[in-house]
Chain A
Protein backbone atom coordinates (compact mmCIF):
# COMPACT_ATOMS: atom_id res chain seq x y z
CA UNK A 1 0.00 0.00 0.00
CA UNK A 2 1.38 3.37 -0.95
CA UNK A 3 1.05 6.41 1.30
CA UNK A 4 -2.05 8.55 0.89
CA UNK A 5 -1.02 12.15 1.46
CA UNK A 6 -4.19 13.78 0.13
CA UNK A 7 -6.93 11.19 0.34
CA UNK A 8 -6.20 9.33 3.59
CA UNK A 9 -9.41 10.61 5.18
CA UNK A 10 -11.53 11.00 2.05
CA UNK A 11 -14.10 8.43 3.16
CA UNK A 12 -14.41 9.61 6.76
CA UNK A 13 -18.02 10.47 7.63
CA UNK A 14 -18.47 14.24 7.77
CA UNK A 15 -14.95 15.07 6.50
CA UNK A 16 -16.53 17.82 4.39
CA UNK A 17 -17.28 19.72 7.62
CA UNK A 18 -14.67 21.90 9.29
CA UNK A 19 -15.15 20.18 12.64
CA UNK A 20 -14.37 16.67 11.42
CA UNK A 21 -11.65 17.91 9.08
CA UNK A 22 -9.96 19.66 12.03
CA UNK A 23 -10.16 16.46 14.11
CA UNK A 24 -8.11 14.74 11.43
CA UNK A 25 -5.38 17.35 11.50
CA UNK A 26 -6.95 19.86 9.15
CA UNK A 27 -5.71 23.48 9.00
CA UNK A 28 -2.45 22.64 10.79
CA UNK A 29 -0.48 24.01 7.84
CA UNK A 30 -2.24 27.37 8.14
CA UNK A 31 -1.31 27.60 11.81
CA UNK A 32 2.27 26.51 11.15
CA UNK A 33 2.83 28.79 8.17
CA UNK A 34 1.17 31.93 9.48
CA UNK A 35 2.55 31.66 13.02
CA UNK A 36 6.05 30.26 12.52
CA UNK A 37 7.12 30.78 8.90
CA UNK A 38 7.77 33.69 6.56
CA UNK A 39 6.11 33.55 3.14
CA UNK A 40 9.51 32.90 1.52
CA UNK A 41 10.10 29.96 3.84
CA UNK A 42 6.85 28.41 2.63
CA UNK A 43 7.94 28.90 -1.00
CA UNK A 44 11.28 27.30 -0.13
CA UNK A 45 9.60 24.17 1.28
CA UNK A 46 7.47 23.82 -1.86
CA UNK A 47 10.63 24.14 -3.98
CA UNK A 48 12.37 21.47 -1.90
CA UNK A 49 9.40 19.15 -2.24
CA UNK A 50 9.92 18.90 -5.99
CA UNK A 51 6.13 19.18 -6.44
CA UNK A 52 5.27 19.50 -10.13
CA UNK A 53 2.09 21.02 -11.53
CA UNK A 54 -0.59 18.36 -11.34
CA UNK A 55 -2.83 19.83 -14.04
CA UNK A 56 -0.82 18.26 -16.83
CA UNK A 57 2.22 20.35 -17.66
CA UNK A 58 4.34 19.06 -14.77
CA UNK A 59 6.15 22.37 -14.28
CA UNK A 60 7.77 22.69 -10.82
CA UNK A 61 5.28 24.54 -8.61
CA UNK A 62 7.89 26.20 -6.37
CA UNK A 63 9.67 27.61 -9.42
CA UNK A 64 6.39 28.93 -10.83
CA UNK A 65 5.79 30.65 -7.51
CA UNK A 66 9.23 32.25 -7.51
CA UNK A 67 8.52 33.88 -10.91
CA UNK A 68 5.68 35.95 -9.40
CA UNK A 69 6.43 39.65 -9.77
CA UNK A 70 6.07 41.60 -6.53
CA UNK A 71 5.95 45.31 -7.33
CA UNK A 72 5.35 47.49 -4.28
CA UNK A 73 1.71 48.38 -3.58
CA UNK A 74 0.23 46.25 -6.40
CA UNK A 75 -2.18 43.47 -5.42
CA UNK A 76 -1.35 39.97 -6.62
CA UNK A 77 -3.59 36.98 -6.99
CA UNK A 78 -3.62 33.24 -6.59
CA UNK A 79 -6.16 31.54 -8.85
CA UNK A 80 -6.90 27.86 -8.50
CA UNK A 81 -7.56 26.11 -11.79
CA UNK A 82 -10.52 23.82 -11.07
CA UNK A 83 -11.67 23.81 -14.69
CA UNK A 84 -11.08 20.07 -14.92
CA UNK A 85 -12.10 19.18 -18.48
CA UNK A 86 -9.37 17.03 -20.01
CA UNK A 87 -11.16 13.87 -21.17
CA UNK A 88 -10.27 11.01 -18.85
CA UNK A 89 -9.57 13.30 -15.89
CA UNK A 90 -11.96 13.49 -12.92
CA UNK A 91 -9.71 13.69 -9.86
CA UNK A 92 -10.29 17.32 -8.88
CA UNK A 93 -14.06 16.89 -8.84
CA UNK A 94 -13.71 14.05 -6.31
CA UNK A 95 -11.15 15.91 -4.23
CA UNK A 96 -13.22 19.12 -4.04
CA UNK A 97 -16.57 17.49 -3.42
CA UNK A 98 -15.33 15.15 -0.70
CA UNK A 99 -12.48 17.18 0.82
CA UNK A 100 -13.43 20.84 0.23
CA UNK A 101 -11.46 21.98 3.27
CA UNK A 102 -8.24 20.44 1.95
CA UNK A 103 -8.36 22.74 -1.07
CA UNK A 104 -9.33 25.72 1.09
CA UNK A 105 -6.47 25.01 3.50
CA UNK A 106 -4.07 24.75 0.56
CA UNK A 107 -5.39 28.03 -0.85
CA UNK A 108 -4.84 29.85 2.44
CA UNK A 109 -1.30 28.54 2.97
CA UNK A 110 -0.37 29.12 -0.69
CA UNK A 111 -1.91 32.61 -0.80
CA UNK A 112 0.10 33.49 2.30
CA UNK A 113 3.28 32.27 0.61
CA UNK A 114 2.56 34.41 -2.45
CA UNK A 115 1.32 37.47 -0.59
CA UNK A 116 -2.12 37.38 -2.19
CA UNK A 117 -4.98 38.93 -0.23
CA UNK A 118 -7.73 37.88 -2.62
CA UNK A 119 -7.82 34.46 -4.23
CA UNK A 120 -10.20 32.69 -6.55
CA UNK A 121 -11.10 29.11 -7.29
CA UNK A 122 -12.23 28.95 -10.93
CA UNK A 123 -14.39 25.84 -11.19
CA UNK A 124 -15.90 24.55 -14.42
CA UNK A 125 -19.55 25.59 -14.69
CA UNK A 126 -20.82 22.03 -14.97
CA UNK A 127 -19.68 21.50 -11.39
CA UNK A 128 -22.03 24.06 -9.85
CA UNK A 129 -22.97 21.47 -7.22
CA UNK A 130 -19.32 21.32 -6.16
CA UNK A 131 -19.21 25.13 -6.08
CA UNK A 132 -22.07 24.95 -3.53
CA UNK A 133 -20.03 22.49 -1.41
CA UNK A 134 -16.96 24.75 -1.57
CA UNK A 135 -18.94 27.90 -0.71
CA UNK A 136 -20.43 26.18 2.33
CA UNK A 137 -16.97 25.10 3.48
CA UNK A 138 -15.56 28.59 2.85
CA UNK A 139 -18.30 30.08 5.05
CA UNK A 140 -17.22 27.67 7.82
CA UNK A 141 -13.60 28.71 7.37
CA UNK A 142 -14.53 32.41 7.67
CA UNK A 143 -16.54 31.68 10.82
CA UNK A 144 -13.59 29.80 12.33
CA UNK A 145 -11.19 32.68 11.59
CA UNK A 146 -9.17 30.90 8.89
CA UNK A 147 -10.31 33.44 6.29
CA UNK A 148 -11.01 37.16 6.47
CA UNK A 149 -9.11 39.83 8.36
CA UNK A 150 -6.12 39.13 10.59
CA UNK A 151 -6.18 35.34 10.26
CA UNK A 152 -5.26 33.64 13.55
CA UNK A 153 -3.97 36.99 14.80
CA UNK A 154 -1.14 36.93 12.29
CA UNK A 155 -2.03 40.22 10.63
CA UNK A 156 -2.54 38.41 7.33
CA UNK A 157 -5.85 39.02 5.47
CA UNK A 158 -7.35 36.77 2.82
CA UNK A 159 -10.65 36.64 0.97
CA UNK A 160 -11.41 33.49 -1.00
CA UNK A 161 -14.11 33.19 -3.67
CA UNK A 162 -15.35 30.49 -6.02
CA UNK A 163 -16.11 31.45 -9.61
CA UNK A 164 -17.97 29.20 -12.07
CA UNK A 165 -17.09 28.80 -15.74
CA UNK A 166 -19.70 28.34 -18.42
CA UNK A 167 -18.72 25.21 -20.32
CA UNK A 168 -15.48 25.56 -22.30
CA UNK A 169 -12.48 23.19 -22.20
CA UNK A 170 -10.21 26.00 -23.35
CA UNK A 171 -10.64 27.79 -20.02
CA UNK A 172 -8.33 25.18 -18.48
CA UNK A 173 -5.55 27.06 -20.30
CA UNK A 174 -4.44 29.57 -17.69
CA UNK A 175 -4.73 32.79 -19.67
CA UNK A 176 -8.11 31.76 -21.13
CA UNK A 177 -9.17 31.05 -17.57
CA UNK A 178 -8.19 34.57 -16.53
CA UNK A 179 -10.10 36.09 -19.46
CA UNK A 180 -13.11 34.04 -18.40
CA UNK A 181 -12.74 35.18 -14.79
CA UNK A 182 -12.83 38.74 -16.11
CA UNK A 183 -16.22 38.03 -17.69
CA UNK A 184 -15.09 37.53 -21.27
CA UNK A 185 -14.87 34.79 -23.89
CA UNK A 186 -12.18 32.25 -23.05
CA UNK A 187 -9.63 33.26 -25.66
CA UNK A 188 -6.05 32.48 -24.58
CA UNK A 189 -3.72 35.47 -24.42
CA UNK A 190 -0.48 35.93 -26.24
CA UNK A 191 2.54 35.38 -23.99
CA UNK A 192 4.61 37.20 -22.89
CA UNK A 193 3.53 38.86 -20.71
CA UNK A 194 3.05 35.78 -18.57
CA UNK A 195 0.44 35.75 -15.78
CA UNK A 196 3.24 35.96 -13.20
CA UNK A 197 3.74 39.54 -14.43
CA UNK A 198 0.33 40.45 -15.88
CA UNK A 199 -2.41 38.02 -15.00
CA UNK A 200 -5.85 38.67 -13.53
CA UNK A 201 -6.80 42.34 -14.02
CA UNK A 202 -3.26 42.79 -15.39
CA UNK A 203 -1.86 42.10 -11.90
CA UNK A 204 0.80 39.48 -11.05
CA UNK A 205 -1.01 36.15 -10.78
CA UNK A 206 -0.20 32.51 -10.09
CA UNK A 207 -2.55 29.88 -11.52
CA UNK A 208 -2.26 26.39 -9.99
CA UNK A 209 -4.22 23.17 -10.39
CA UNK A 210 -6.45 21.92 -7.52
CA UNK A 211 -4.27 18.90 -6.82
CA UNK A 212 -1.08 20.99 -6.70
CA UNK A 213 -2.61 23.34 -4.13
CA UNK A 214 -4.01 20.41 -2.16
CA UNK A 215 -0.47 19.05 -1.81
CA UNK A 216 0.82 22.23 -0.14
CA UNK A 217 -0.55 21.51 3.38
CA UNK A 218 1.27 18.19 3.69
CA UNK A 219 4.47 19.76 2.31
CA UNK A 220 4.29 22.54 4.92
CA UNK A 221 3.41 20.12 7.73
CA UNK A 222 6.03 17.48 7.01
CA UNK A 223 8.61 19.57 5.19
CA UNK A 224 9.61 19.62 1.54
CA UNK A 225 12.46 17.15 2.07
CA UNK A 226 10.13 14.54 3.59
CA UNK A 227 7.70 14.92 0.68
CA UNK A 228 10.54 14.53 -1.82
CA UNK A 229 11.49 11.17 -0.27
CA UNK A 230 8.38 9.67 -1.85
CA UNK A 231 8.60 8.88 -5.54
CA UNK A 232 11.41 8.34 -8.02
CA UNK A 233 13.94 10.94 -9.17
CA UNK A 234 12.26 14.16 -10.25
CA UNK A 235 8.80 12.62 -9.86
CA UNK A 236 8.23 13.23 -6.18
CA UNK A 237 5.24 12.67 -3.96
CA UNK A 238 1.89 11.14 -4.75
CA UNK A 239 -0.40 11.64 -7.73
CA UNK A 240 -4.11 11.19 -8.16
CA UNK A 241 -4.83 8.98 -11.14
CA UNK A 242 -8.32 8.98 -12.64
CA UNK A 243 -8.72 5.53 -14.14
CA UNK A 244 -11.49 4.97 -16.66
CA UNK A 245 -12.45 3.08 -19.78
CA UNK A 246 -12.49 -0.70 -19.91
CA UNK A 247 -11.24 -1.43 -16.40
CA UNK A 248 -12.78 -3.66 -13.75
CA UNK A 249 -12.46 -0.93 -11.12
CA UNK A 250 -12.44 2.54 -12.65
CA UNK A 251 -12.07 5.35 -10.12
CA UNK A 252 -9.61 7.70 -8.42
CA UNK A 253 -6.41 6.26 -7.02
CA UNK A 254 -3.75 8.12 -5.10
CA UNK A 255 -0.48 6.44 -6.01
CA UNK A 256 3.11 6.99 -4.99
CA UNK A 257 4.88 8.10 -8.14
CA UNK A 258 7.01 5.19 -9.33
CA UNK A 259 4.30 2.52 -9.24
CA UNK A 260 4.71 0.14 -12.21
CA UNK A 261 1.99 0.69 -14.82
CA UNK A 262 1.37 -3.06 -15.00
CA UNK A 263 0.67 -3.22 -11.27
CA UNK A 264 -1.65 -0.22 -11.52
CA UNK A 265 -3.72 -1.85 -14.26
CA UNK A 266 -3.83 -5.44 -13.06
CA UNK A 267 -3.46 -5.43 -9.27
CA UNK A 268 -6.65 -5.74 -7.22
CA UNK A 269 -5.46 -2.88 -5.06
CA UNK A 270 -5.88 -0.59 -8.07
CA UNK A 271 -7.81 -1.15 -11.31
CA UNK A 272 -8.22 -4.92 -11.03
CA UNK A 273 -7.50 -5.68 -14.69
CA UNK A 274 -9.49 -5.35 -17.89
CA UNK A 275 -13.26 -5.84 -17.79
CA UNK A 276 -15.14 -8.84 -19.14
CA UNK A 277 -11.97 -10.95 -19.10
CA UNK A 278 -10.74 -9.21 -22.24
CA UNK A 279 -7.24 -8.29 -23.29
CA UNK A 280 -5.84 -4.76 -23.06
CA UNK A 281 -5.30 -3.09 -26.43
CA UNK A 282 -4.13 0.45 -25.72
CA UNK A 283 -3.87 3.13 -23.05
CA UNK A 284 -4.06 6.91 -23.09
CA UNK A 285 -2.14 7.52 -19.89
CA UNK A 286 -2.44 11.23 -19.13
CA UNK A 287 -5.68 12.65 -20.47
CA UNK A 288 -6.92 12.63 -24.08
CA UNK A 289 -4.21 14.91 -25.43
CA UNK A 290 -1.22 12.66 -24.70
CA UNK A 291 -0.10 10.05 -27.25
CA UNK A 292 -1.92 6.71 -27.16
CA UNK A 293 0.31 3.67 -26.62
CA UNK A 294 -0.37 0.05 -27.53
CA UNK A 295 -0.32 -2.51 -24.71
CA UNK A 296 3.30 -3.57 -25.30
CA UNK A 297 4.61 -0.01 -25.03
CA UNK A 298 2.53 1.08 -22.05
CA UNK A 299 3.66 -1.90 -19.97
CA UNK A 300 7.32 -1.77 -21.03
CA UNK A 301 9.53 0.88 -22.60
CA UNK A 302 11.06 0.24 -26.03
CA UNK A 303 14.22 -0.77 -24.17
CA UNK A 304 12.25 -3.49 -22.37
CA UNK A 305 12.19 -1.87 -18.94
CA UNK A 306 9.06 -1.80 -16.81
CA UNK A 307 7.13 1.39 -17.47
CA UNK A 308 6.54 3.31 -14.23
CA UNK A 309 3.95 5.91 -13.32
CA UNK A 310 6.40 8.81 -13.31
CA UNK A 311 6.85 11.86 -15.53
CA UNK A 312 10.17 10.47 -16.83
CA UNK A 313 9.31 6.81 -17.36
CA UNK A 314 6.07 7.51 -19.21
CA UNK A 315 7.85 9.91 -21.54
CA UNK A 316 10.79 7.53 -22.08
CA UNK A 317 11.31 7.15 -25.81
CA UNK A 318 9.84 10.57 -26.57
CA UNK A 319 6.78 10.52 -28.77
CA UNK A 320 8.21 7.72 -30.90
CA UNK A 321 7.62 5.06 -28.26
CA UNK A 322 6.56 7.03 -25.17
CA UNK A 323 3.81 9.31 -23.91
CA UNK A 324 3.24 11.63 -20.91
CA UNK A 325 1.89 11.46 -17.36
CA UNK A 326 -0.12 14.61 -18.12
CA UNK A 327 -3.10 15.12 -15.82
CA UNK A 328 -3.21 11.47 -14.77
CA UNK A 329 -6.34 10.76 -16.80
CA UNK A 330 -5.75 7.07 -17.47
CA UNK A 331 -8.00 5.67 -20.22
CA UNK A 332 -7.75 1.92 -20.85
CA UNK A 333 -9.13 0.37 -24.04
CA UNK A 334 -9.83 -3.33 -24.49
CA UNK A 335 -9.28 -5.46 -27.60
CA UNK A 336 -12.72 -4.61 -29.04
CA UNK A 337 -11.94 -0.87 -29.27
CA UNK A 338 -11.75 0.71 -32.72
CA UNK A 339 -8.81 3.11 -32.65
CA UNK A 340 -10.08 5.04 -35.69
CA UNK A 341 -13.45 5.64 -34.07
CA UNK A 342 -11.84 6.66 -30.81
CA UNK A 343 -9.45 9.06 -32.57
CA UNK A 344 -12.36 10.56 -34.49
CA UNK A 345 -14.21 11.07 -31.20
CA UNK A 346 -11.23 12.90 -29.66
CA UNK A 347 -10.79 15.02 -32.80
CA UNK A 348 -14.44 16.01 -32.66
CA UNK A 349 -13.83 17.08 -29.07
CA UNK A 350 -10.90 19.33 -29.97
CA UNK A 351 -12.69 20.80 -32.96
CA UNK A 352 -15.66 21.57 -30.73
CA UNK A 353 -13.45 23.12 -28.05
CA UNK A 354 -11.10 25.17 -30.24
CA UNK A 355 -11.70 28.83 -29.39
CA UNK A 356 -11.20 29.78 -33.04
CA UNK A 357 -8.56 32.48 -32.59
CA UNK A 358 -5.74 30.76 -34.49
CA UNK A 359 -6.50 29.46 -37.97
CA UNK A 360 -4.19 26.39 -37.79
CA UNK A 361 -6.22 25.11 -34.84
CA UNK A 362 -9.67 26.34 -35.89
CA UNK A 363 -9.34 24.93 -39.43
CA UNK A 364 -6.96 22.06 -38.69
CA UNK A 365 -9.08 20.48 -35.96
CA UNK A 366 -12.05 20.67 -38.33
CA UNK A 367 -10.12 18.94 -41.10
CA UNK A 368 -8.87 16.21 -38.82
CA UNK A 369 -12.40 15.55 -37.58
CA UNK A 370 -13.75 15.50 -41.14
CA UNK A 371 -11.08 13.12 -42.49
CA UNK A 372 -11.39 10.79 -39.50
CA UNK A 373 -15.17 10.84 -39.85
CA UNK A 374 -14.95 9.68 -43.44
CA UNK A 375 -12.42 6.97 -42.63
CA UNK A 376 -14.65 5.70 -39.82
CA UNK A 377 -17.82 5.85 -41.90
CA UNK A 378 -16.56 4.09 -45.01
CA UNK A 379 -15.70 6.99 -47.28
CA UNK A 380 -11.97 7.20 -46.63
CA UNK A 381 -8.96 6.78 -48.90
CA UNK A 382 -5.38 5.65 -48.34
CA UNK A 383 -4.13 9.23 -48.94
CA UNK A 384 -6.24 10.36 -45.99
CA UNK A 385 -3.82 8.77 -43.56
CA UNK A 386 -0.86 10.91 -44.60
CA UNK A 387 -3.19 13.88 -44.91
CA UNK A 388 -4.05 13.47 -41.22
CA UNK A 389 -0.39 13.41 -40.23
CA UNK A 390 0.29 16.44 -42.39
CA UNK A 391 -2.57 18.48 -40.90
CA UNK A 392 -1.49 17.52 -37.38
CA UNK A 393 2.05 18.72 -38.15
CA UNK A 394 0.77 22.04 -39.46
CA UNK A 395 -1.18 22.74 -36.27
CA UNK A 396 1.61 21.84 -33.86
CA UNK A 397 3.66 24.82 -32.75
CA UNK A 398 1.60 27.30 -34.75
CA UNK A 399 -0.98 28.37 -32.19
CA UNK A 400 -1.18 30.80 -29.27
CA UNK A 401 -1.98 28.08 -26.74
CA UNK A 402 -1.29 24.34 -26.38
CA UNK A 403 -4.77 23.27 -27.53
CA UNK A 404 -3.19 22.94 -30.96
CA UNK A 405 -0.70 20.35 -29.70
CA UNK A 406 -3.38 18.68 -27.59
CA UNK A 407 -5.43 18.15 -30.75
CA UNK A 408 -2.52 17.12 -32.98
CA UNK A 409 -0.72 14.64 -30.71
CA UNK A 410 -3.49 12.04 -30.31
CA UNK A 411 -4.02 11.87 -34.08
CA UNK A 412 -0.34 11.61 -34.91
CA UNK A 413 0.18 8.94 -32.22
CA UNK A 414 -2.83 6.86 -33.32
CA UNK A 415 -1.51 6.74 -36.88
CA UNK A 416 2.01 6.06 -35.62
CA UNK A 417 1.05 3.01 -33.57
CA UNK A 418 -2.09 1.74 -35.33
CA UNK A 419 -1.48 2.63 -38.98
CA UNK A 420 -2.69 -0.82 -40.11
CA UNK A 421 -6.14 -0.03 -38.63
CA UNK A 422 -6.39 3.19 -40.59
CA UNK A 423 -5.29 1.38 -43.75
CA UNK A 424 -7.88 -1.32 -43.16
CA UNK A 425 -10.56 1.38 -42.84
CA UNK A 426 -9.47 2.81 -46.20
CA UNK A 427 -9.27 -0.54 -48.01
CA UNK A 428 -12.31 -2.22 -46.38
CA UNK A 429 -14.65 0.75 -46.30
CA UNK A 430 -17.88 -1.26 -46.22
CA UNK A 431 -16.84 -3.54 -43.39
CA UNK A 432 -15.30 -0.68 -41.43
CA UNK A 433 -18.53 1.31 -41.58
CA UNK A 434 -20.49 -1.48 -39.83
CA UNK A 435 -21.43 -0.54 -36.27
CA UNK A 436 -18.94 -2.04 -33.85
CA UNK A 437 -16.52 -3.12 -36.57
CA UNK A 438 -12.97 -3.40 -35.32
CA UNK A 439 -9.83 -4.36 -37.18
CA UNK A 440 -8.11 -7.44 -35.84
CA UNK A 441 -4.99 -8.98 -37.35
CA UNK A 442 -6.89 -12.29 -37.52
CA UNK A 443 -9.91 -10.78 -39.23
CA UNK A 444 -12.83 -8.52 -38.48
CA UNK A 445 -14.73 -8.54 -35.27
CA UNK A 446 -18.28 -7.30 -35.54
Chain B
Protein backbone atom coordinates (compact mmCIF):
# COMPACT_ATOMS: atom_id res chain seq x y z
CA UNK B 1 0.00 0.00 0.00
CA UNK B 2 1.40 3.39 -0.94
CA UNK B 3 1.63 5.74 1.99
CA UNK B 4 -1.39 7.97 2.22
CA UNK B 5 -0.43 11.46 3.21
CA UNK B 6 -4.05 12.42 3.73
CA UNK B 7 -5.85 10.96 6.67
CA UNK B 8 -8.83 8.75 5.74
CA UNK B 9 -12.25 10.23 6.45
CA UNK B 10 -15.67 8.62 6.58
CA UNK B 11 -18.26 9.84 4.08
CA UNK B 12 -21.10 11.98 5.42
CA UNK B 13 -23.54 9.08 4.95
CA UNK B 14 -21.29 6.74 6.91
CA UNK B 15 -20.86 9.32 9.67
CA UNK B 16 -24.64 9.58 10.04
CA UNK B 17 -24.95 5.77 10.18
CA UNK B 18 -22.20 5.58 12.81
CA UNK B 19 -24.00 8.20 14.89
CA UNK B 20 -27.21 6.15 14.66
CA UNK B 21 -25.41 2.97 15.70
CA UNK B 22 -23.65 4.60 18.66
CA UNK B 23 -27.04 5.60 20.09
CA UNK B 24 -27.93 1.91 20.48
CA UNK B 25 -25.59 1.56 23.45
CA UNK B 26 -25.36 3.40 26.79
CA UNK B 27 -23.42 6.64 26.34
CA UNK B 28 -20.47 5.49 28.42
CA UNK B 29 -20.36 2.24 26.39
CA UNK B 30 -19.55 3.73 22.99
CA UNK B 31 -16.91 1.04 22.53
CA UNK B 32 -19.77 -1.40 21.97
CA UNK B 33 -20.07 0.04 18.46
CA UNK B 34 -16.62 -1.38 17.61
CA UNK B 35 -17.69 -4.25 15.34
CA UNK B 36 -20.46 -2.41 13.46
CA UNK B 37 -18.12 0.55 12.86
CA UNK B 38 -15.32 -1.74 11.66
CA UNK B 39 -17.76 -3.26 9.16
CA UNK B 40 -18.63 0.21 7.89
CA UNK B 41 -14.96 1.12 7.69
CA UNK B 42 -14.16 -1.97 5.64
CA UNK B 43 -17.01 -1.17 3.23
CA UNK B 44 -15.91 2.48 2.95
CA UNK B 45 -12.21 1.92 2.39
CA UNK B 46 -11.87 -0.74 -0.30
CA UNK B 47 -12.64 -3.97 1.52
CA UNK B 48 -9.88 -3.87 4.12
CA UNK B 49 -8.92 -1.90 7.22
CA UNK B 50 -5.46 -0.35 7.10
CA UNK B 51 -3.75 0.80 10.31
CA UNK B 52 -4.75 4.37 9.39
CA UNK B 53 -8.39 3.34 9.00
CA UNK B 54 -8.26 1.53 12.34
CA UNK B 55 -6.85 4.67 13.95
CA UNK B 56 -9.79 6.55 12.52
CA UNK B 57 -12.17 3.99 14.06
CA UNK B 58 -10.42 4.48 17.41
CA UNK B 59 -10.85 8.23 17.13
CA UNK B 60 -14.54 7.95 16.25
CA UNK B 61 -15.19 5.61 19.19
CA UNK B 62 -13.01 7.50 21.64
CA UNK B 63 -10.83 4.47 22.43
CA UNK B 64 -7.09 3.81 22.18
CA UNK B 65 -5.87 2.47 18.81
CA UNK B 66 -4.68 -0.76 20.47
CA UNK B 67 -8.28 -1.49 21.47
CA UNK B 68 -9.20 -1.52 17.79
CA UNK B 69 -6.14 -3.52 16.69
CA UNK B 70 -6.80 -6.27 19.22
CA UNK B 71 -10.36 -6.61 17.96
CA UNK B 72 -9.66 -6.40 14.22
CA UNK B 73 -7.01 -9.11 14.56
CA UNK B 74 -9.34 -11.44 16.48
CA UNK B 75 -12.31 -11.54 14.11
CA UNK B 76 -11.83 -13.20 10.74
CA UNK B 77 -14.05 -10.90 8.69
CA UNK B 78 -11.68 -7.96 8.81
CA UNK B 79 -9.03 -7.95 6.11
CA UNK B 80 -5.80 -6.45 7.39
CA UNK B 81 -4.10 -6.43 3.98
CA UNK B 82 -5.23 -4.96 0.64
CA UNK B 83 -7.64 -7.16 -1.28
CA UNK B 84 -8.98 -7.48 -4.82
CA UNK B 85 -12.23 -5.86 -5.88
CA UNK B 86 -14.13 -8.95 -4.79
CA UNK B 87 -13.15 -11.13 -1.86
CA UNK B 88 -14.51 -14.64 -2.41
CA UNK B 89 -14.92 -16.28 0.99
CA UNK B 90 -15.16 -20.01 0.37
CA UNK B 91 -16.58 -22.15 3.18
CA UNK B 92 -14.28 -25.12 3.83
CA UNK B 93 -15.94 -26.73 6.87
CA UNK B 94 -17.27 -30.33 7.02
CA UNK B 95 -20.76 -30.01 5.53
CA UNK B 96 -19.43 -27.93 2.60
CA UNK B 97 -16.51 -30.35 2.15
CA UNK B 98 -19.01 -33.24 1.93
CA UNK B 99 -20.68 -31.42 -0.98
CA UNK B 100 -17.51 -30.47 -2.86
CA UNK B 101 -15.90 -27.33 -1.38
CA UNK B 102 -12.37 -28.71 -2.01
CA UNK B 103 -13.19 -29.10 -5.70
CA UNK B 104 -14.80 -25.64 -5.73
CA UNK B 105 -11.69 -24.04 -4.25
CA UNK B 106 -9.43 -25.77 -6.79
CA UNK B 107 -11.77 -24.69 -9.60
CA UNK B 108 -11.80 -21.05 -8.43
CA UNK B 109 -8.00 -21.01 -8.15
CA UNK B 110 -7.75 -22.33 -11.72
CA UNK B 111 -10.12 -19.86 -13.33
CA UNK B 112 -9.24 -16.72 -11.37
CA UNK B 113 -5.49 -17.36 -11.15
CA UNK B 114 -5.55 -16.26 -7.50
CA UNK B 115 -4.48 -18.60 -4.69
CA UNK B 116 -6.24 -19.04 -1.36
CA UNK B 117 -4.42 -16.92 1.22
CA UNK B 118 -2.36 -15.24 -1.51
CA UNK B 119 -2.59 -11.89 -3.26
CA UNK B 120 -5.44 -10.94 -5.58
CA UNK B 121 -5.62 -12.25 -9.15
CA UNK B 122 -3.41 -10.36 -11.62
CA UNK B 123 -6.36 -8.41 -13.01
CA UNK B 124 -6.99 -7.19 -9.46
CA UNK B 125 -10.52 -8.59 -9.47
CA UNK B 126 -10.51 -11.50 -7.06
CA UNK B 127 -9.06 -12.40 -3.69
CA UNK B 128 -9.67 -15.97 -2.53
CA UNK B 129 -10.12 -16.61 1.17
CA UNK B 130 -11.10 -19.86 2.87
CA UNK B 131 -13.44 -19.39 5.83
CA UNK B 132 -15.10 -21.63 8.39
CA UNK B 133 -18.79 -22.55 8.50
CA UNK B 134 -21.09 -19.86 7.08
CA UNK B 135 -24.30 -21.43 8.48
CA UNK B 136 -25.83 -22.34 5.14
CA UNK B 137 -24.81 -26.03 5.13
CA UNK B 138 -27.97 -27.26 3.41
CA UNK B 139 -27.10 -25.19 0.35
CA UNK B 140 -23.46 -26.22 0.12
CA UNK B 141 -20.97 -25.49 -1.29
CA UNK B 142 -21.09 -21.77 -0.56
CA UNK B 143 -19.15 -18.61 -1.30
CA UNK B 144 -19.80 -15.30 0.42
CA UNK B 145 -18.96 -12.02 -1.31
CA UNK B 146 -19.55 -8.98 0.90
CA UNK B 147 -23.11 -9.37 2.17
CA UNK B 148 -24.23 -11.88 -0.43
CA UNK B 149 -24.27 -15.68 -0.22
CA UNK B 150 -23.79 -17.61 -3.47
CA UNK B 151 -25.19 -21.07 -2.79
CA UNK B 152 -25.05 -24.54 -4.35
CA UNK B 153 -21.94 -23.78 -6.37
CA UNK B 154 -21.53 -27.42 -7.35
CA UNK B 155 -21.54 -26.93 -11.13
CA UNK B 156 -19.20 -24.91 -13.39
CA UNK B 157 -22.29 -23.03 -14.64
CA UNK B 158 -23.22 -21.85 -11.15
CA UNK B 159 -19.65 -20.65 -10.57
CA UNK B 160 -19.56 -18.88 -13.93
CA UNK B 161 -22.83 -17.11 -13.18
CA UNK B 162 -21.39 -15.80 -9.91
CA UNK B 163 -18.14 -14.62 -11.51
CA UNK B 164 -19.98 -12.95 -14.40
CA UNK B 165 -22.22 -11.09 -11.96
CA UNK B 166 -19.18 -9.89 -10.01
CA UNK B 167 -17.21 -8.89 -13.11
CA UNK B 168 -20.15 -6.73 -14.19
CA UNK B 169 -20.32 -4.88 -10.86
CA UNK B 170 -18.73 -1.48 -11.41
CA UNK B 171 -19.88 -0.29 -8.00
CA UNK B 172 -20.35 -2.49 -5.00
CA UNK B 173 -24.02 -2.85 -4.01
CA UNK B 174 -25.29 0.18 -2.07
CA UNK B 175 -25.66 -0.17 1.68
CA UNK B 176 -28.93 0.98 3.30
CA UNK B 177 -27.54 4.41 4.20
CA UNK B 178 -26.03 5.07 0.77
CA UNK B 179 -27.66 6.36 -2.40
CA UNK B 180 -25.21 4.42 -4.55
CA UNK B 181 -22.51 1.96 -3.72
CA UNK B 182 -18.92 3.15 -3.78
CA UNK B 183 -16.83 2.29 -6.82
CA UNK B 184 -14.99 -0.98 -6.34
CA UNK B 185 -11.50 -0.38 -5.09
CA UNK B 186 -8.63 -1.39 -7.31
CA UNK B 187 -6.46 -4.08 -5.84
CA UNK B 188 -3.04 -2.94 -4.87
CA UNK B 189 -0.86 -5.91 -4.11
Contact = CB atoms under 8 A, between A and B. Distances in A.
Interface string A349-362: 10011010000000
Interface string B18-54: 0000001010010111111011000000000000000
Contact of A167 (B32, B131, B136): B131
Contacts of A346: 93-94
A85 interface: yes
Contacts, number: 151
A89 interface: yes
A252 interface: yes
A358 B129 CA distance: 27
B138 A288 contact: no
A251 B133 contact: no
Interface in B60-86: 61, 63, 67, 70-71, 74-78
A89 B144 CA distance: 17
Interface in B72-112: 74-78, 92-95, 97-99
Interface residues of A, number: 57
Interface size class for chain B? 35 or more
Nearest to B38: A166
A47 B21 CA distance: 35
A87 B93 contact: yes
A186 B74 contact: yes
A363 to B, nearest CB: 19
A126 B77 contact: yes
Contacts of A399: none
Contacts of B31: 182-184
Interface stretch (A9-17, A56-64, A157-165, A188-196): A157-165
Given A128-B147, A167-B75, A342 B137 contact: no
Interface of A: 84-90, 92-93, 120, 124-129, 132, 135, 159, 161, 163-169, 180-186, 201, 242-246, 250-252, 284, 288, 329, 331, 333, 337, 341-342, 345-346, 349, 352-353, 355
7 contacts: A93-B135, A126-B131, A126-B144, A164-B36, A167-B131, A183-B63, A342-B98
Interface of B: 24, 26, 29, 31-36, 38-39, 61, 63, 67, 70-71, 74-78, 92-95, 97-99, 131-140, 144, 147-149, 176
